Every structure is written in C-alpha cells, then in structure tokens.
Structure 1
Amino acid sequence: MGAFAPIIATIITVALILVIALIVRNIAKRLITRVVSSASTGSSITGRFRRSGAATEGIDALLNERRKQRAETMGSVLKHISSVVIMGTAVLTVLDRLTIPIAPLLTSVGILGVAIGFGAQELVKDFIAGMFMLLEDQYGVGDVIDAGAAVGTVEAVTLRVTRLRDADGRVWYVRNGTITRVGNESQGWSRAYLDVPVAWNTDVTTVRAILEHVAEEIWADADFRETLIVQEPDVFGVEQLSDSSLVFRISAKTLPAKQAQVARELRLRVKTALDSAGIPMVATA
C-alpha cells in the first residue's frame, strides 16, 4: 500500500486542482453575469426630453436594448477568456505536478502564437476593433450608419464583421478593422428640417406665423408627439437670402432614424398651409 501512496496523493492533488479550477471558473462566470446584468440596466439619459411622454419611453427602450446587447456580447467574450485562462492554468499546474516538463510546451505555444499572430494580423485587428466598437457603443443592430465602405442599416454586429443593408437592399459585410470612421444617424435622437423658399417680396411676418402654426399643429398631433417627435419644432426664421427668394427653416428633433418620416409630414403640412394663404413657393438655385 505504501508504494501506491505517492500515486494516490498525486491523483488527489490533480483532482483538487481541477475541482478548484472549476469552482473558480464558476465564480468568475457568476461575477461576470452579475456585472453584465448591472451594466445592461442603467439609468435613462434622456432627461432633457421629459415633456414628450411616450417618445421619451421609446428612446429609453432603444437605448436599454442597445445597452443590453452590448453588455451580453462583452459578457460572453469575458466568460470565454476567463475559462481559457483558468482552465489553461489548471492544466499547466497538473502537468507540472505530474513532472511533465512544461517549459518546452510553453516555448512551443509561444512560437506558435507568434506565427499565428503574424499570419492572422488582419483577424486580430478586426477583433480588437470590434471589442472597442462594442465597449464604446459606436453603433448597434437597427442603426443607420455610414461606415465609409457602405451606408445602410445595421443587421448584425460581431467581433469580426458588421453586416449592413443599403437602400437598394444590397447586403454589405464590412470588416471591423477596416472601419476608420462611423457616422451614426440613429443614436439618441435625429433631426428633421425643412427649408421653405418663398418670393423676395413675401411678408416675412406672415410666413413666420404660418410656419409657427404648422409647428404647433404637428406638435399637438398625438400621432407624432407620442411616437415620433421628442421636442416641439423650431422655426428659425430667414435662413438664406438671395436676389429672388427668402428661405425659412423649420426643424424638429425626432426619435432615432425617424427624421425622414417627420420631414415628409412637414413638407405636406407646410405646402398645404402656404397654398391656403396664397403664398407660392419658389425654386432656389
């Protein structure tokens, strides 16, 4: 029995190392899950739009969903990394306990890692860019973005590629490492604006009053105030002057990516109001 004592002790030690590694991995996963849960439920950052009721709730819902997606993706990556580190350390410890030389193994792994790193530089670049993109919340699924190589609606985001669908229905796969700048039309809020050109001799006060009435009217419309517009439209007055026309501008803050729909409604209402007042619109150069 004494001859088997070292073997039994080694088996017990190896078993303890593996059990401790599994326990530590489970604890790490629980902590990551708790952090992810906390990060996915944050306070609203749309306090500036408190007057708009359901529109504010719409913005908060979108931001919360984006925050949840980002947190879950990062949580998945962190869980994978923690598992690899913990179990890898446990395996190396077990090998050392079994008196198996790990120095050559570590050297081989290091050389292999360097070789893979040189051969997969673009892949590593894509993954690092994807990590920072998720951490900084540059864009998410459903956003309309200009990624340089393509412009469209984001349909999927991974650590390696971003999938976009443009206005023609064409699907683009853009590697994250190739995106050097992003224009996001869907974060927080958007702006719809309309330039209204009228004749030079048109009474400025009358046109301004008509546009202000249109702004008040669309703001009072529950179909827009509750679902599309987050702040009462502004009339900026005369935006441009030329020898043949005056250009007024009306602007409204909207829910993300809803500016086109609001702008179409503004065009319709402004045209109808000017026609009723007998004020023609003129072409601008």
Structure 2
Amino acid sequence: MDTELNRMGQFLQGLGTGAIDFGLRLLSALVVLAVCVAAMRVIRRLLKKVLTLKISPRAIPPARIESLTAFVLALYDVVAWFVIAMVTISKLGVDVTSLLTVAGVGGIAIGLGAQTLVKDMLAGLLFFVENQYQPGDVVTVAGVTGEVEKMTLRVTEIREYSGDLHVIPNGEIRAVANSTRSYHRAIVDLSVDYSEPLDRVTRVLNDELEHCFPGIEGLSATPVCLGVTKLADSGVEMRVSAECAVKQHWAVERELRRRIKDRFDAEGIELSLPQIVVHGRS
C-alpha cells in the first residue's frame, strides 16, 4: 500500500513538474511571439516608409513605386512570419531541425499541388522586374483591354472601359500590348463616294488637317493623310493618322472625325453610304 502511494506521489510530482515546465516554456514562447510581432510591425512600417519616401519619383514613377512597395512588403511578410513561427516553436522545446526536414518534404508535396500559384507569383515578379506595365497603363492582356488598377505578385486587376473589373492571374498572361508608352497613334478611317474626284478630296482633307495642329488638344504633330486604303463596295476608303499623347487618341479621333465631316459638308464632298443592289425578275 505504501509502495503504491509512493508511486502515485512520484507520478503526481512528475506531472506537476512537467506542467510547470511546459507552462514556463509556453509563457516564454508567448513573450517571444509578442516581442517578435511588435518588432516585425515596426520594421514593416520603417521599410514601407523607406520605399515610399526615399525613392525619388523622378527615378521611378509613383505607380511603379507603389507596386514595388507591395511586392517587397509581401515578400517581407512571408519571411518574417516564417522566422517568427520557427523561433516561437523552438521556445516550446520542439526540435526545429527535424521540423524543417518534415516541412521540406511537405513543402515538395504542397508545391506540386500549388504549381499554378507559384507560376502566377513568378510571372508577377518578372512583370515588375521587366517593367512591362504598371498601374495607370492602358494594356491589352488575356483578351482584355483596359487600365491597370492594381498589380500584385499573384494577379493583375484591369478596369475595362465598361467599368468591369477583371482579375487576371499573372500566369495566364502570355502577351502584353501596352498603349501607354511613349506615344499613341490616332487612326481615322473615312469612306467617300465614288463620284468624288480623289485629287480634290485629298487636297481639301490635307488643308483641314493642317489647321488641326496645334488646334486639337493632345496632338503631337500635324495629322497625315495616308491615302486610299481600300476600294470598298460602297465607296473609296481613306485613312488619316495622327501622333498624339498617351491616352489621348480616343479624344483626338473623335475631334478629327467631327472636323473632317464639317469640312466635307462645307465643300460639298459626299461620304459614302452602304448600298444594296436588288436584282428583279421580269
């Protein structure tokens, strides 16, 4: 009986000692976790301030600085939380080396199942490094044309002109058509009636184009008549090209069409209309 009581006492004593030891480790881990999280947040704020205030807007456009800040902070968050987790777990007495080995094997399995996510993030990193586009640019990607609103490591958000917001995984972007670099070209196609002499039409058109620059806002040079582009069923098609500032080509095209139409009306030059020829049987 005494022997059993001694054993029970030793068991309870050992259990109490173990509980106290675990409690101290848990308390130590919580303290370390709190300190690490606080330090992480302070460092994150300083890092964000350095990226947003120390980089000159003349060297890097503000939109690109914003994307750079988002990328760096996202990478920092992943690394910081991983380090905090490892330090906290080690304070609980867990062998971090063994845990990293198991995590490595598990990471391979997870990586095989998350290839799409990894591909999206790598593509996003390359888009930023190569500076293919940035927030504010008008682009055509994955069959969508609109303004880039946001770039992250995983997705690109594009606002279409209709107002629809497209969230496109970066890994699905195969080609990029950027309409916001350097300059844009306004293109106006018009069709005149076959009865109109082309020499007269060209002379009147060129005269009107000479008065467009610098009258039309956004134009970078005098518009040019490229001549006849097609002999269509309903009329002779001609094309006007004008170099203009980025994002201004739509407004320039609208104003050119208005001015050309008014001038042709004043000169009595007829634009072509669709014609339908009906053959009857007698």
Q: TM-score range by the shorter chain?
A: 0.5 to 0.7
State the partner residue of 1:144.
138
Residues in 1 aligned to 2:83 and 2:151: alpha-carbon distance in whole angstroms? 31
- C-alpha contact 2:159 2:165 (8 A) present in aligned 1: yes
Q: Which of the residues 58, 73, 94 maps onto 2:67? A: 73
The within-5 A match list for 1:155-170 is 155-170=149-164
Q: Aligned AA for 1:271?
A: K
Structure 1: gaps of 5 or more residues: 1-21, 44-66
Q: 1:278 aligns with which of 268, 271, 274?
A: 268
Alignment of 1:78-117 (within 5 A): 78=72, 81=75, 103-117=97-111
Alignment of 1:1-285 (within 5 A): 33=50, 40-42=57-59, 67-78=61-72, 81=75, 103-221=97-215, 227-241=217-231, 245-283=235-273
Q: TM-score, normalization: structure 1?
A: 0.65
Aligned to 2:135, the other structure's residue is in SS state coil
- Name stretches of at least 5 consecutive residues in structure 2 with no aligned partner: 1-38, 276-282
Structure 2 length-normalised TM? 0.65
Rate the CA distance shift 1:155–1:101 in 2: closer, same or farther, 3 A: closer
Distance in 1 separating the partners of 2:209 and 2:119: 48
AA aligned opposite 2:141: A
Q: Is the 8 A contact 1:190 1:253 kept in 2?
A: yes
Residue 168 to residue 39, structure 1, CA distance change in 2 (3 Å): same
Cross-structure match for 1:16: none
When residues 256 and 220 of structure 1 are mapped into structure 2, their CA distance, relative to the original with a 3 A threshold, is: closer
How far apart are 1:260 and its partner, in Å?
Answer: 1.6
Distance in 1 of aligned mates of 2:81 and 2:234: 76
Over residues 74-100 of structure 1, what are the superposed CA-to-partner deviations in whole Å (9 max), with x where a residue is unaligned?
35534664687699789989x99xx99
Letter in structure 2 aligned against 1:41: R
Q: Distance in 1 between matches of 2:135 and 2:51?
A: 24
Query: Offset at 1:39?
Result: 7.4
The whole-number CA distance in structure 2 between the counterparts of 1:160 and 1:87 is 19
For residues 157 and 86 of structure 1, what CA distance do their matches in structure 2 show?
22
Distance 1:83 1:39, change over 3 A: farther
Aligned-pair CA distance for 1:263: 0.9
SS of 1:165's equivalent in the other structure is: strand
**Residues 243, 168 of structure 1: alpha-carbon distance in 2 compared, 3 angstrom cutoff:** closer
**Does 1 or 2 have the higher relative contact order (CA < 8 Å, sep 6+)?**
1
The more displaced of 227-236 and 125-134 is: 227-236
| Structure with a larger share of its residues in helix | 1
Is the 2:214–2:221 contact (alpha carbons within 8 Å) kept by the matching residues of 1?
Answer: no
CA contact (8 A) 1:143 1:184 kept: yes
Shift of 1:101: 5.9
Listed one character per residue, the Cα deviations across residues 165-215 of structure 1 (whole Å, up to 9, x for unaligned) are 333322222111122223333333221111222233433332222222222
Contact 1:233 1:252 in 2 (8 A): yes
The answer as to whether partners of 1:192 and 1:253 remain within 8 angstroms in 2 is yes
Q: Which amino acid aligns with 1:119?
A: G
Tell me which structure has the larger Cα radius of gyration. Answer: 2
Structure 1 vs Structure 2 CA RMSD:
4.1
